[in-house]
Amino acid sequence: MGKADILIIGGGPGGYTAALAAVKVGYSVCLIEKTAHLGGTCLNNGCIPSKVLLDSSEHFAQAKNKMQIHGISVKDVTIDIAMLMARKKTVISTLSANISNLLKRQKVEVVAGSAQLVSSKEVMVTTPEKTTAFYRAEKAIILAAGSIPLEFSFLPFDGTHIVSSDTALSFTEVPNRLGIIGGGAIGLELGSVWQRLGAQVTIIEALDNIAPTMDAQIGRALNRYLKGQGLELKVKTRLVSARVEKEEVLTVVSINDQEETLVFDKLLVAVGRRPASKIMGLEEAGVKLSEPGEKVIVDECFQTSLPGVYAVGDLIDGPMLAHKASAEASAVVDVISGKKSEIRYDVLPGVIYTWPEVAGIGLTEEQVKEQGRSYQVAVIPFAGSGRAQAAGETDGQVKVICDGFNQKILGVHIIGSRAADIIDAASIAITKEMTTHEVYSIICAHPSFSEIWHEACFAASVSPIKKSN
């Protein structure tokens, strides 16, 4: 029987971050990963491959549509999907190897196989060769198995016509007509990729708006920009059924209680993900899951109902974000080693990597109004930025919301070029409870995209106070 101070199930951001944090404080660690590559969903089927395709497809779109404004003439632009996918695989394998080498240097034992929880101290591993081995945790077990695409019971994935995001990241050719169920980050990002590459894309969202968790004003701007790029967005539209006939997906939707049939070559179901909790024998071992649902129930210290067993990331409540999993992993190791650790879930940044990018942190204006507090708000357009004008990236705006009395920043919402990078500055400001004046007193480089957020802080601090009723 193998043993270590800490056993970790899952080699994604939560798992490998926990492993590195545990080694740093002196624990021996065994990390169990069922797939051939470390990195989890984020690296293999999520964050990284989607960004590779987004960046490559954006270069293609720029060459076709935007080079002219810079005086660059580009003719007969084509795309090689096989080369595009080969580059994606290279990026994934490179990053996975980096993680593997880092864990090896830190003396983390990595075991390949599927893990099943036996008790609060023991895990059974089934290797790729179908042999079994048992591992004992002297100190704790950390569950970090991540999530899998959510599938409708009445519409199972067939891998060809009705597909998950995993499959949509690996199409071998551009579909002529791509339907997407779900107007959240996954659907919008993959829709953008394939629309840029030539597909006719229709996004179907049951709620009133795409990107429904974002600030409504920013969401409306995103809607406008994506429509301008050629995506068809159908909101307040509910999926009724879908079936494959003669290599086509006949998709029945309901709009204002009127049914309509849409025809696609492929239908991507992108309505979210669910925790990969059922495959580890958790309930049989005594770990309670939410009812209904499959999320692992944990206390404020991330401990499950089985003492000594902890869970992080997509397995537990909260947004399924890689940076959330990493933060929780570090916090769990602190708890196990007897330290106090706190995570500010109210300051988790969220990003949608369309073009323009969308990023938000803190409270939306709708949430501030719901709280009934007085606030100030300012919106500064990218078009006023010298750097944005020079780059030819003038679409977008920065919205800053601050408290009406003390000017502490409550929320920052951005749509525009570099939004994913600018939001980190806002994250620092909100986490440190800075005021708009304190941010504006910081000197920004000129010209830069960051200046737009800087100017928005100043404008918010002098804007009229709004009173929520």
Q: Write out the chain's pLDDT in tens, 469 residues.
A: 899 999 999 999 999 999 999 999 999 999 999 987 899 989 999 999 999 999 999 999 999 988 888 999 888 899 999 999 999 999 999 999 999 999 999 999 999 999 999 999 999 999 888 999 999 999 999 999 999 999 999 999 999 999 999 999 999 999 999 999 999 999 999 999 999 999 999 999 999 999 999 999 999 999 999 999 999 999 999 999 999 999 999 999 999 899 999 999 999 999 999 999 987 889 999 999 997 778 999 999 999 999 999 999 999 999 999 999 999 999 999 999 999 888 989 999 999 999 999 999 999 999 999 999 999 999 999 999 999 999 999 999 999 999 999 999 999 999 999 999 999 999 999 999 999 999 999 999 999 999 999 999 999 998 888 876 5
Closest CA to 249 of 151, 128, 158, 368: 158
pLDDT at residue number 75: 87
Residue 143, SS3 per DSSP: strand
pLDDT tens per residue, range 437-454: 999 999 999 999 999 999
Helix (H) or strand (E) holding 141: strand 132-143
pLDDT at residue number 469: 58
Q: What would the two tokens of residue 312 be?
A: 């992080």
Sign of the torsion angle spanned by Cα atoms 453, 57, 171, 204: positive
Report the alpha-carbon distance of residue 402 to residue 464 in Å, rounded: 11
133: left (phi over 0), alpha (psi -120 to 50) or beta: beta
Helix (H) or strand (E) holding 87: helix 81-105
Q: Residue type for 84, please?
A: L
Tokens 């979210």, located at residue: 272
Beta bridge pairs of residue 162: 267
CB 460 within 8 A of CB 436: yes
CB 205 within 8 A of CB 222: no
Closest CA to 436 of 362, 376, 351: 376
Report the alpha-carbon distance of residue 147 to residue 186 in Å, rounded: 14
In angstroms, the first-to-last Cα distance of the chain is 64
Q: Residue type for 414, please?
A: I
Q: What would the two tokens of residue 76 be?
A: 């007969």
Strands 396-403, 374-381: parallel, antiparallel or unpaired by DSSP? antiparallel
Report the alpha-carbon distance of residue 91 to residue 56 in Å, rounded: 12
Strands 396-403, 409-416: parallel, antiparallel or unpaired by DSSP? antiparallel
Helix (H) or strand (E) holding 274: strand 273-275
DSSP string computed for 347-389? G--EEE-SSSEEEEEE--HHHHHHHT-EEEEEEEEGGG-HHHH
Q: Residue type for 114, please?
A: S
- Could you give all domains of the chain from N- to C-terminal order, each with its CATH number? 2-149+274-343 (3.50.50.60), 162-271 (3.50.50.60), 349-467 (3.30.390.30)
Instruction: Report phi then psi at 237, rounded to 5.
Output: -125, 120
DSSP state of 444: P
E strands, 246-356, in order: 248-255, 258-264, 266-269, 273-275, 309-311, 350-352
Tell me how far CA of residue 317 lies from CA of 286, 325, 345, in angstroms.
19, 11, 11
CA-CA-CA-CA torsion for 442, 443, 445, 447, nearest 10 degrees? 100
DSSP state of 315: G
Q: What would the two tokens of residue 291 be?
A: 């009812």
CB 111 within 8 A of CB 125: yes
pLDDT at residue number 468: 65
Q: Which of 70, 161, 323, 446 is catalytic?
A: 446
Catalytic annotation on 161? no
